Structure formats: structure tokens, C-alpha cells
């Protein structure tokens, strides 16, 4: 066997007779398990069975990942549950053969080991992982509307017990190496300066095997305990996901509840259930979300722009939270406002975010040291990116940018976070107006993954690319949008929320019913709660910008709330009273309301405005509309995007459930 026998694998033998098997998928930046990769692996396993080496060690030839999972692109080629089940059973048979190899085996995990990559690793006797920030393990399949299908549900529950295994699969969360080691998914950790190759080699020569499941793990898989735990998991999962919308987690719970003490039966259930799920409307919609996410990440990929320092002007909720998020991504940030008293609340919020995300005292302290209060604005001269996030007033923004242009570096990226003011009006005071772009973040910044990169026909295209590259650098999805009233997201939301306000004002429909109707449809929250969450003052500003005779009465209602200081969640009262960060709702107000009919009425203007934005060229494509509304408004992900959903509704034989 020579290294050139295969396109995606390399085999080498050392002097001790150990076979080193390296996965290095041809033409790809990361390893994934395609049908071609599996076909070659089957040939390799057959050769190793026929001529056994002293041992086998699997490693990755990619610098940043082990195996990121199955090749999601191939999922869309599956035409029926029968076809999917046949492929899954073939994968099961191959992994069974690897697990049964009659010589010691080990695997080296460096970088991302996800989905099918982890399922493959669990077939080896011993697992060595690099203990650093680049290594992560987990099962993200639930985010694609399925659950682990290459033996993961059986092997993981067998290895660490259902009590520990199911939460990993149900949530899709990624584990750090030390967490995986504690759970028993990894057997040995090697530090940044150690050698995983030597550790794996020693393990094979010594014939080491992974420690078996603990007594507690075995107990959790036993009948009485399993049934009790399954009931609790089902209840907890239902609190976060509607079974009608997201069936995969509940299918996994049911399979384990019935057969958790029988790995062979778990494999059989996995083949049948995952095959059915992968052909369902939820998985089809969620896979489209995955592809949309990848397309957004591609924006700005050709730009070499990388920032080290960011200067944010305006320490309000948006500006302060943008600054904190940039710090969380490793950047140094200076935060400017008129007086220190305006910056202090932002620093306090940032501290809370750092404690929640970073956990350890040293990392929290490091983040705090990178966020600097800057009343005088001295940081603007050193910054690579300057983001304006002051109040929505054209004259104030123009004055600020006139001053900034004279002080910033020639190559610095100049951006405004305006939610509605046309870019051309703000840029008109600049000597080089073509350098100004919009970077429109959404509230709450730490949770909303989209940033609208705003431009017009005068904007330098290189600046748009640099803005998109910066968004990717701070782990946000960049969506280029044309500067026009409301851009994309706010323009659609304005019509949608206006419809809710009108139904509340004119027909007396309870706000709780309005919200519940669209939550049942699949939205993360209703339009009234959303208005409170965004801030009624912000909503009023957008409504005034997009104003017409149609909006006048509802603008008056919002104006009255704002004048009373009822701004929504941030003030503790808006349409709702807010306690402990949650709106107080009267559940009785929903009784007797046809929520399904109401949802259709509420969503209609949302859909119409999405189509209007496409027709007006606000973004480049239907995909961009769908991506913007999913990641910018939380449009029901399992439906694949508003325009995709509408197209499927016109084909009942393929349509998603309503």
C-alpha cells in the first residue's frame, strides 16, 4: 500500500509495524465524511483485515481540524428514506469492522472532531486529544434536524451512559478537551508542547484501551432509571423546542428510552429514524440554513483586512455591547462617550458578558484590560475600525464624522451603526464619502449573529469587502445591503410589527395572543415582545424614518410610551411589564383565539415585504433575503427562510407543515 493509492487517505508504516492512517480529503480545507471517503476507507479496512499490522493510528492531515462530520452537501442528494437507511447501515457495518480489528488502535484528535468524526473516533480503542483552545468535540446533528447516524447514539450512550450522552446530542454543544476527558470520550490529553503522536504510539504498543463506562453510566442505561431520565429530558427539551417543528431530539429520546440498554437495537433504530428524519421538511429547512450560513461567511473572504484595534463612539446599549463583543473576540477596544458616567454602565454590562462567556478569572481579567474607556476619543487615531453608535440624529452623526475623518488613519474602516438614516446623507460631509459604510448590528449584540453591511452606489466596493471581512473576524455573519429606508431587516420588521400594533389597537386582540400565534408558527418571539426587546424608542425612530399615513396612529402610541419612559425591556416596562428579564403575560388572554389563522394574518405583510425587498434589489438574491431574515429576525429556521417557505407552500407534495 503506497500513500498514492487513495485520494483522501495516506497510509504509512513505521519500523515498529504500526500503520499510520491519515485522512486528508482532497480539494477541501477540512475533512468531512463523504461517500467517496467511506468507499476508500472500506478498501483500507479490508486490506488491514487481510494483512494485520501491529497497530493502527488515525490522524488528520489538516492543520485546523480532525473531521468536522459528514459531508452535508451529500444530504441533499438523498431521494428517499430507503436510500438514506441503506447508506447508514453500510456506514454502521464499516465502523463495526473498525471496532473489531484484531490489533490495538488509537486516534489523535486535534482541532474540530464533530458528528461523524467523533462517531468514527469512538470505534478506536484509545483516544488522544490535543488540550488547547482549537480542539472541540461534539454532535451538531440536531442543528440539521437529525441526530448522530453513524453509530453515535449507540456508542456514546454505551461509553458514558445516557444521562451524560443525551444532553450532548440533544443540544449540539461542543466540548472542550478537558470536558471530553472527564466524561470519558477522550482517554488522554496532551498539552500544547507535548506530542500526541508519541502518546498514541505508546498507547498502541502497550495495547491500551479506553476505560469502560462507570457504574453510574451503566445505571443510567438501566430500565427504571432510563425511563425516568427520558421523561425528564423530554420535558426539558419540550420547553425549548416544539416537537412538531423539531422532531429529532424527541426521536433520539424515544429510541434511548426503549432500547438504551441494547446497543445493537439502538443502531437499528438509528438507521431507521435518522433516515426518516433526513428526508423530512425540518431537516431540509435546517440544511438550507446551514448552506445560507456558509454563503454569508463567504462575503469578504477575498479581503486580507484584519483589525487589531476598534474604536466605538457611543456607549449606549448598542455601542457598549458592540465594544464588548469585539473585546470578546480578542480585539482591543476604546469606547468613547461625552462623559465617564455614560461609559460606566457599558463597562458593567461588558463585565457581566465576560464572566458569562469566559468563566476563568484570568481570561475575564484579560478581556477587561482590552476594553478602555476613552472620553477624549484618543483611540480613534490608532484604530483599524471606527464604529459610530450615537443616537439617531443626522446632524450629530455628520458633525462626528467630519471630526473623525481628520484624525483617523488613512486605511481605517469608517462605519456607522445607524438603523435607518441613509448612508449618503451621513457621508456627504466627508472628503472621501466613498469610504463610509454601515455596520448595522442587532440587539442583543451577543446573541444576534447578523450584521448588515450597508452601501450605496457611491461606496467603494473594497470598503464593503473589508467591512464583511471584519464581521467574519468577530464571528458575525455579514450581509451586504443597499442603503435605503430600514435597509432589509428593519424594513420587513416594521411592516410586520405595524400589523400587530394595528390588530391590537383596532380589533382589541390581546398582545399575548398576537405573540403566541407567531411563536406557534415557529418564530422565537412575537412582534409585541420583540418591540419591547428592541426598545420602543428604537422602534419609534424606525417608524418615523419609514413613516406614512398608515403608521401615524401607531407612531402616536409608541410616542406616548416613550414620553412616559416606558421603553420596553430595558426600562422594565413597555407593552409588557418586565420582571427578571422576562415579560409578564396573561395566559388567559389567548383563550378562544384562532392562533393559526392569526399567524397567517400577521406573517402576510412580513412575506410581502420580503418579496418587495427582493424586487427592489435591496440584497443580491433570494438566498440573501432568507439568510437576513433567519439570522436577523429569527425567522423559523426549520422552515428554511421566508421565500423558501413560500415556494414550498406552492408545492403541497413537498411543503413543510404549517
Using CA atoms, how far residue 155 sits from 54, 151, 261, 317, 391, in Å, is: 25, 6, 11, 46, 55
Phi-psi region of 254 (alpha: psi -120 to 50; beta: other; left: phi over 0): alpha
Q: Per-residue pLDDT tens for 304-324?
A: 999 999 999 999 999 999 999
- Residue 465 lies inside a defined structural domain of this protein: yes
Residue with C-alpha cell 478498501? 43
Is the distance from CB of 32 to CB of 23 less than 8 angstroms?
Answer: no
The pLDDT mean for the chain works out to 94
Please compute Rg for the chain using Cα positions: 27
Q: Per-residue pLDDT tens for 387-408?
A: 999 998 999 999 999 999 999 9
User: pLDDT band at 544, cuts 50/70/90?
Assistant: confident
Is the distance from CB of 109 to CB of 59 less than 8 angstroms?
Answer: no
In this predicted structure, the answer to whether residue 225 has a pLDDT above a threshold of 60 is: yes
User: pLDDT band at 371, cuts 50/70/90?
Assistant: very high
Mean pLDDT of 534-554: 77
Do 452 and 566 have their domain in common? no
Do 530 and 384 have their domain in common? no
In this predicted structure, the answer to whether residue 498 has a pLDDT above a threshold of 70 is: yes
- Residue 633 lies inside a defined structural domain of this protein: no
Query: Which pTM was predicted?
Result: 0.90
User: pLDDT band at 658, cuts 50/70/90?
Assistant: very low
In this predicted structure, the answer to whether residue 476 has a pLDDT above a threshold of 90 is: yes
If one counts the domains in the chain, the total is 3
In this predicted structure, the answer to whether residue 133 has a pLDDT above a threshold of 60 is: yes
Do 451 and 314 have their domain in common? yes
3-state secondary structure 451-496: EEEEECCCCCHHHHHHHHHHHHHCCCEEEEEECCCCCCHHHHHHHH
Do 609 and 518 have their domain in common? yes
Q: Which pLDDT value is given to residue 289?
A: 96
Q: Per-residue pLDDT tens for 90-124?
A: 999 999 999 999 999 999 999 999 999 999 999 99
User: pLDDT band at 553, cuts 50/70/90?
Assistant: confident
Q: How many CA atoms lie within 13 A of 355 on its CB side?
A: 6
Mean pLDDT of 255-271: 96
Report the CATH number that the domain containing residue 162 is assigned in CATH.
3.90.226.10
Residue with C-alpha cell 453608535? 389
Q: Which of 185-189, 339-343, 588-592 has the lowest mean pLDDT?
A: 588-592
What is the largest distance, in Å, between two alpha-carbon atoms of the chain? 83
- Residue 540 lies inside a defined structural domain of this protein: yes
Specify burial of residue 390 (Cβ count, 10 A radius: 0-12, 13-18, 19+): buried
- Residue 643 lies inside a defined structural domain of this protein: no
d(CA 649, CA 187): 49
Mean pLDDT of 322-349: 97
Mean pLDDT of 201-228: 93
User: pLDDT band at 657, cuts 50/70/90?
Assistant: very low
The residue range of the domain holding 95 is 3-279
- Residue 127 lies inside a defined structural domain of this protein: yes
Q: Which pLDDT value is given to residue 651?
A: 66
**Which residues, in sequence order, are bridge partners of residue 21?**
11, 58
Q: Which pLDDT value is given to residue 656?
A: 39
Do 367 and 243 have their domain in common? no
Report the CATH number that the domain containing residue 504 is assigned in CATH.
1.10.1040.50
Mean pLDDT of 260-288: 96
Do 401 and 450 have their domain in common? yes
Do 41 and 115 have their domain in common? yes
Q: Which of 89-103, 204-218, 327-341 has the lowest mean pLDDT?
A: 204-218
Do 477 and 511 have their domain in common? no
In this predicted structure, the answer to whether residue 601 has a pLDDT above a threshold of 50 is: yes
Q: Which residues contact 115 (CB under 8 A, 6 or more apart)?
A: 68, 69, 70, 138, 139, 140, 141, 148, 150, 152
User: Residue 297 has which C-alpha cell?
Assistant: 461567511
Q: Which pLDDT value is given to residue 653?
A: 46
Say what the alpha-carbon torsion angle 216, 221, 223, 227 is, to the nearest 10 degrees. 100
Q: Is 440 one of the catalytic residues?
A: yes
Catalytic residue chosen out of the listed positions 245, 311, 440, 504: 440
- Residue 296 lies inside a defined structural domain of this protein: no
In this predicted structure, the answer to whether residue 529 has a pLDDT above a threshold of 60 is: yes
Report the CATH number that the domain containing residue 482 is assigned in CATH.
3.40.50.720
User: Residue 304 has which C-alpha cell?
Assistant: 486580507
Q: Which of 465, 486, 507 delimits the end of a domain?
A: 486
Collapse the DSSP code of 588 into the 3-class scheme (helix H, G, I; strand E, B; otherwise coil) and give the result: helix
The number of helix segments (H) and strand segments (E) in the chain equals 27, 20
Mean pLDDT of 253-272: 96
Q: Which of 486, 520, 553 delimits the end of a domain?
A: 486
In this predicted structure, the answer to whether residue 329 has a pLDDT above a threshold of 90 is: yes
Do 268 and 198 have their domain in common? yes
- Residue 293 lies inside a defined structural domain of this protein: no
Residue 141: closest CA among 33, 50, 56: 33
Do 543 and 407 have their domain in common? no
Residue with C-alpha cell 389567548? 590
- Residue 201 lies inside a defined structural domain of this protein: yes
d(CA 397, CA 416): 9
Q: Which of 78-82, 87-91, 537-541, 653-657 has the lowest mean pLDDT?
A: 653-657
Core vs surface per residue 192-231: b (16+ CB within 10 A) or e: eeeebeebbbebbeeebebeebeeebeebbeeebbeebbe
Q: Which pLDDT value is given to residue 557?
A: 85
d(CA 258, CA 234): 13
d(CA 108, CA 201): 10
The whole-angstrom distance between residue 4's C-alpha and the CA centroid of its chain comes to 38
Q: Which pLDDT value is given to residue 623?
A: 97
Do 601 and 462 have their domain in common? no
Do 464 and 540 have their domain in common? no
User: pLDDT band at 260, cuts 50/70/90?
Assistant: very high
In this predicted structure, the answer to whether residue 167 has a pLDDT above a threshold of 60 is: yes
Count CB atoms within 10 A of the CB of residue 180. 26
d(CA 122, CA 284): 28
Amino acid at each position: 500500500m503506497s500513500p498514492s493509492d487513495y485520494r483522501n487517505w495516506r497510509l504509512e508504516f513505521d519500523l515498529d509495524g504500526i500503520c499510520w492512517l491519515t485522512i486528508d480529503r482532497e480539494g477541501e480545507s477540512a475533512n468531512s465524511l463523504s461517500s467517496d471517503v467511506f468507499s476508500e476507507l472500506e478498501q483500507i479496512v479490508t486490506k488491514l483485515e487481510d494483512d494485520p499490522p501491529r497497530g493502527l493510528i488515525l490522524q488528520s492531515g489538516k492543520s485546523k481540524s480532525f473531521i468536522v462530520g459528514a459531508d452535508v452537501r451529500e444530504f441533499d442528494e438523498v431521494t428517499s428514506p430507503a436510500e438514506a437507511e441503506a447508506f447508514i447501515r453500510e456506514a454502521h457495518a464499516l465502523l463495526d469492522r473498525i471496532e473489531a480489528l484484531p490489533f490495538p488502535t488509537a486516534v489523535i484528535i486535534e482541532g474540530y472532531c464533530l458528528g461523524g468524526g467523533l462517531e468514527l473516533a469512538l470505534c478506536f480503542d484509545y483516544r488522544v486529544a490535543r488540550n488547547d483552545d482549537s480542539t472541540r468535540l461534539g454532535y451538531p446533528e440536531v442543528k440539521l434536524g437529525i441526530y448522530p447516524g453513524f453509530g453515535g447514539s449507540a456508542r456514546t450512550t454505551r461509553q458514558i451512559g445516557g444521562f451524560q450522552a443525551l444532553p450532548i446530542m440533544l443540544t449540539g454543544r461542543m466540548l472542550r478537551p478537558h470536558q471530553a476527558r472527564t466524561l470519558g470520550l477522550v482517554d488522554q490529553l496532551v498539552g500544547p508542547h507535548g506530542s500526541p503522536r508519541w502518546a498514541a504510539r505508546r498507547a498502541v504498543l502497550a495495547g491500551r484501551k479506553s476505560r469502560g463506562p462507570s457504574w453510574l453510566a451503566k445505571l443510567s442505561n438501566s430500565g427504571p432509571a432510563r425511563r425516568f431520565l427520558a421523561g425528564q429530558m423530554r420535558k426539558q427539551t419540550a420547553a425549548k423546542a416544539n416537537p412538531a417543528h423539531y422532531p429529532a431530539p424527541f426521536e433520539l429520546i424515544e429510541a434511548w428510552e426503549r432500547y438504551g440498554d441494547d446497543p445493537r437495537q439502538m443502531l437499528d433504530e438509528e438507521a431507521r429514524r435518522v433516515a426518516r428524519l433526513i428526508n423530512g421538511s425540518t431537516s431540509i429547512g435546517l440544511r438550507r440554513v446551514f448552506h445560507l450560513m456558509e454563503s454569508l461567511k463567504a462575503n469578504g473572504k477575498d479581503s486580507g483586512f484584519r483589525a487589531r484595534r476598534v474604536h466605538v463612539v457611543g456607549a449606549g446599549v448598542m455601542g457598549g455591547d458592540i465594544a464588548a463583543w469585539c473585546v470578546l473576540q480578542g480585539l482591543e477596544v476604546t469606547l468613547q462617550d461625552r462623559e465617564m458616567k455614560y461609559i460606566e454602565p457599558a463597562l458593567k454590562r461588558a463585565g457581566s458578558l465576560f464572566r458569562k462567556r469566559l468563566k476563568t478569572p484570568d481570561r475575564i481579567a484579560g478581556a477587561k484590560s482590552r476594553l478602555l474607556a476613552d472620553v477624549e476619543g484618543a483611540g480613534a487615531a490608532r484604530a483599524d475600525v471606527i464604529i459610530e453608535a450615537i443616537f439617531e440624529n443626522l446632524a450629530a452623526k455628520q458633525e462626528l464624522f467630519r471630526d473623525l475623518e481628520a484624525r483617523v488613519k488613512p486605511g481605517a474602516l469608517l462605519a456607522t451603526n445607524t438603523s435607518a438614516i441613509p448612508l449618503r446623507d451621513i457621508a456627504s460631509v466627508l472628503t472621501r464619502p466613498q469610504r463610509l459604510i454601515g455596520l448595522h448590528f442587532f440587539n442583543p449584540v451577543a446573541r444576534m449573529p447578523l450584521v448588515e453591511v450597508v452601501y450605496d452606489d457611491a461606496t467603494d466596493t473594497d470598503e464593503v469587502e473589508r467591512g464583511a471581512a471584519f464581521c467574519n473576524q468577530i464571528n458575525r455573519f455579514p450581509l451586504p445591503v443597499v442603503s435605503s429606508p430600514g435597509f432589509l431587516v428593519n424594513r420587513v420588521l416594521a411592516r410586520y410589527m405595524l400589523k400587530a400594533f394595528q390588530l391590537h389597537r383596532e380589533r382589541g386582540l390581546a398582545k399575548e395572543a398576537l405573540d403566541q400565534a407567531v411563536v406557534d408558527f415557529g418564530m422565537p418571539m412575537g412582534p409585541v415582545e420583540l418591540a419591547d426587546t428592541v426598545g420602543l424608542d428604537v422602534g419609534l425612530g424606525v417608524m418615523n424614518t419609514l413613516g406614512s399615513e398608515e403608521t401615524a396612529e401607531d407612531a402616536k402610541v409608541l410616542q406616548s410610551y416613550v414620553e412616559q419612559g416606558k421603553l420596553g425591556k430595558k426600562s422594565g416596562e413597555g407593552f409588557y411589564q418586565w420582571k427578571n428579564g422576562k415579560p409578564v403575560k396573561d395566559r388567559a388572554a389567548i383563550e378562544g383565539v384562532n392562533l393559526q389563522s392569526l399567524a397567517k394574518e400577521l406573517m402576510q405583510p412580513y412575506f410581502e415585504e420580503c418579496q418587495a425587498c427582493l424586487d427592489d434589489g435591496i440584497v443580491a438574491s433570494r438566498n440573501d433575503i432568507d439568510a437576513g431574515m433567519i439570522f436577523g429576525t429569527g425567522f423559523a429556521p426549520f422552515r428554511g427562510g421566508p421565500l423558501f417557505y413560500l415556494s414550498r407552500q406552492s408545492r403541497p407534495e413537498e411543503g413543510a407543515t404549517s
